[in-house]
Amino acid sequence: VSDSAPRVELDPGRPGGRVLLQAGVWQSYTDLDDPAHLHFAYTQRVADAVDIVFGARTPLRAVHVGGGGLTLPRWLAATRPGSTSTVLELDPRVVALAHAQLGAGEIPGLTVRVGDARAGVARLRDAVADLVVGDAFTGRQVPAHLATAEFVAEVVRVLRPGGLYVLNTIDDHPFDFLRSELATLDTAFAHVGVVAVAELLARQTSGNAVLVASDTDVDWVGLAARVARRIESHAVLGPAGTARWCAGAQPLTDARQERVGSRC
Ligand SMILES: C[S@@+](CC[C@H](N)C(=O)[O-])C[C@H]1O[C@@H](n2cnc3c(N)ncnc32)[C@H](O)[C@@H]1O
């Protein structure tokens, strides 16, 4: 097995714990005995955003851009029975592993489509989703074509009014990608915020930032309270703070040249 092939490792500290790695990079952590368990901090942030926007146990129609070990579809099915998850995953080997070693076949309401998520989203009907989770990575990078204004317009198209787009990102100083992606979301959604450790928002450390976008306002104060009570405390920037944080950044486009007009 080459290092680039995806593989599943056991967690010696947790009997049901499984880590999916791709090219040596951790992609998903799943507890086969506890589908509601979210190990990675960023998955907890995604869950916090979902839970602040949608009523407890409300079933959701979700689209997942990037499937990995299917942690979030599993969490959604466990915490919101009756939910459906359409997963768009590029790598057929990941999908095969998820079935063979991570019990994908037992996740209720799950559909997995193998292929590039940009094409997968383009094939979805208008207003079919309450929630789109953006979590596609090549190594530690969001693929460029899944970050542009054109792709985000497709996400907006498949979301129903009041729907939520939550996007996981990883970046490092000087945060050009994160700032540009926030500017990109700002061109398409009325309300855009970001959740990350306070040190990252202070531009003092690298890591994950979870972007939260909707055409309906989000309870940013409630979200901040929710993320602060986790073991690894995070901070939230609401729309005004986010606009200041990415001031001057250019939205990303397929042509990567045009500024399409944002408040950033
Ligand atoms: C971090 S994992 C996703 C974890 C997942 N959200 C979960 O709940 O476990 C990232 C996944 O994105 C996939 N990916 C990368 N590029 C992609 C693309 N263009 N389209 C669809 N999936 C892609 C990778 O193969 C990898 O499985």
Structure tokens, 264: 């950033």
Instruction: Give the separation between CA 211 and CA 99, rounded to whole angstroms.
Output: 29
The model's confidence at residue 259, banded by pLDDT at 50, 70 and 90, is very low
Neighbours of 226 (CB within 10 A): 20
Residue indicated by tokens 């880590």:
19
Ligand 1 binding pocket includes 79 (Cβ within 6 Å) = no
Pocket test for ligand 1, best of 138, 165, 166 (most atoms within 8 A of CB): 138
The yes-or-no verdict on residue 2 having pLDDT over 70 is no
Ligand 1 binding pocket includes 64 (Cβ within 6 Å) = yes
CA 52, 44, 263, 155 dihedral sign is negative
Q: What is the Å distance from ligand 1's center to 248 Cα?
A: 30
Q: What is the Å distance from ligand 1's center to 62 Cα?
A: 15
Tens-digit pLDDT profile for residues 206-245: 999 999 999 999 999 999 999 998 877 889 999 999 999 9
Structure tokens, 90: 């590029």
Q: What contacts 130, CB < 8 A, 6 or more positions away?
A: 54, 60, 61, 62, 159, 160, 162, 163, 164
Ligand 1 binding pocket includes 130 (Cβ within 6 Å) = no
Q: What is the Å distance from ligand 1's center to 53 Cα?
A: 24
Ligand 1 binding pocket includes 94 (Cβ within 6 Å) = yes
The model's confidence at residue 21, banded by pLDDT at 50, 70 and 90, is very high
Q: What is the Å distance from ligand 1's center to 90 Cα?
A: 7
Q: What is the Å distance from ligand 1's center to 240 Cα?
A: 30
The confidence score (pLDDT) of residue 178 equals 97
Residue 235 buriedness (CB in 10 A; 0-12 / 13-18 / 19+): middle
The confidence score (pLDDT) of residue 213 equals 98
Ligand 1 binding pocket includes 88 (Cβ within 6 Å) = yes
Cα 158 to chain center, whole Å? 16
- Which numbered atom of ligand 1 lies nearest the CA of 88? 21
Structure tokens, 26: 């951790």
Q: What contacts 144, CB < 8 A, 6 or more positions away?
A: 252
The yes-or-no verdict on residue 250 having pLDDT over 70 is yes
Ligand 1 binding pocket includes 181 (Cβ within 6 Å) = no
Ligand 1 binding pocket includes 91 (Cβ within 6 Å) = yes
Phi and psi at residue 74, to the nearest 5°:
-65, -45
The confidence score (pLDDT) of residue 263 equals 59
**What mean pLDDT comes out for the span 94-103?**
97
Structure tokens, 123: 């094939």
- Which numbered atom of ligand 1 lies nearest the CA of 74? 8
Single out the residue of 163, 188, 136 nearest to residue 50, CA to CA.
Answer: 163
- Which numbered atom of ligand 1 lies nearest the CA of 68? 27
The model's confidence at residue 257, banded by pLDDT at 50, 70 and 90, is very low
Q: What is the Å distance from ligand 1's center to 244 Cα?
A: 30
Q: Whose CA is nearest to atom 4 of ligand 1?
A: 68
Q: What is the Å distance from ligand 1's center to 55 Cα?
A: 27
